[in-house]
């Protein structure tokens, strides 16, 4: 049997009053908190560990116990979020139709294109690092698991999660370069054996 208890119901069961907020307020506060990092452990403590240390029973006891350990945490976090909200207010006046249109173009057109074409960017960057040339694979080469060539060395580009799929790795007889998508770009991992081959070019 499986079932779900909603947070509001848990509050009712524990007889804890739910605060009321204007529409969108919690979303904005939550976003400001994420940007300000106001509730990170260094500010408010590691909550999952603190609640395990707490030996009391009631909400009132927990609040008293927590505030004794972190008397300034809520005030500090409040100020961090408030400062970020002020930043939001400042930028809201600068957001107009043209800015929204630019943002949407970047999201829908540019980032989609980059997502499809990042293989070329990886191969080009590897070639630049080793001061050599590159090219993308043709259809026949792609059917063999090759994404492109750097200095005539066949390369397959795979996400980092591919490393755990050992059976699939055995079926590709070319050098594999792994990439990991991160917030600010791609983290590229070139295997040592490929690196040695590329270094031979100018040796």
**For residues 193 and 195, what is the distance between their CA atoms, to the nearest angstrom?**
5
**For residues 157 and 73, what is the distance between their CA atoms, to the nearest angstrom?**
46
- Residue 170: C-alpha distances to residues 156, 163, 177, 189 (Å): 13, 11, 14, 18
Question: How long, in residues, is the chain?
Answer: 203
* Residue 166 clears pLDDT 60, i.e. is over it: no
**For residues 150 and 132, what is the distance between their CA atoms, to the nearest angstrom?**
7
pLDDT digit string, tens, across residues 75-88 = 999 999 999 999 99
Residue 78 is predicted with a pLDDT of: 98
The confidence band for 39, taking pLDDT boundaries of 50, 70 and 90, is very high
Residue 167 is predicted with a pLDDT of: 46
Residue 12 is predicted with a pLDDT of: 86
**For residues 188 and 129, what is the distance between their CA atoms, to the nearest angstrom?**
12
Of the two residues 18 and 167, the one the predictor is more confident about is: 18
């Amino acid at each position: 049997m499986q079932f779900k208890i909603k947070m509001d119901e848990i509050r009712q069961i524990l007889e804890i009053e739910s605060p009321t907020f204007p529409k969108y307020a919690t979303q904005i506060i939550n976003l400001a908190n994420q940007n300000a990092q106001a509730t990170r452990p260094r500010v408010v403590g590691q909550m999952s560990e603190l609640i395990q240390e707490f030996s009391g029973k009631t909400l009132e006891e927990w609040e008293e116990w927590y505030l004794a350990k972190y008397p300034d945490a809520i005030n500090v976090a409040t100020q961090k979020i408030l400062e970020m909200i002020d930043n939001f207010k400042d930028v809201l006046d600068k957001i107009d139709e043209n800015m929204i249109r630019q943002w949407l173009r970047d999201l829908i057109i540019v980032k989609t294109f980059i997502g499809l074409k990042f293989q070329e960017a990886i191969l080009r960057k590897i070639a630049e690092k080793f001061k050599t040339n590159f090219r993308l694979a043709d259809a026949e080469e792609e059917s063999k698991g090759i994404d492109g060539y750097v200095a005539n060395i066949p390369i397959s580009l795979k996400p980092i999660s591919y490393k755990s799929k050992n059976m699939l790795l055995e079926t590709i007889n070319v050098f594999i370069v792994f990439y990991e998508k991160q917030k600010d770009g791609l983290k590229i991992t070139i295997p040592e054996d490929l690196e040695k081959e590329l270094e031979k070019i100018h040796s």
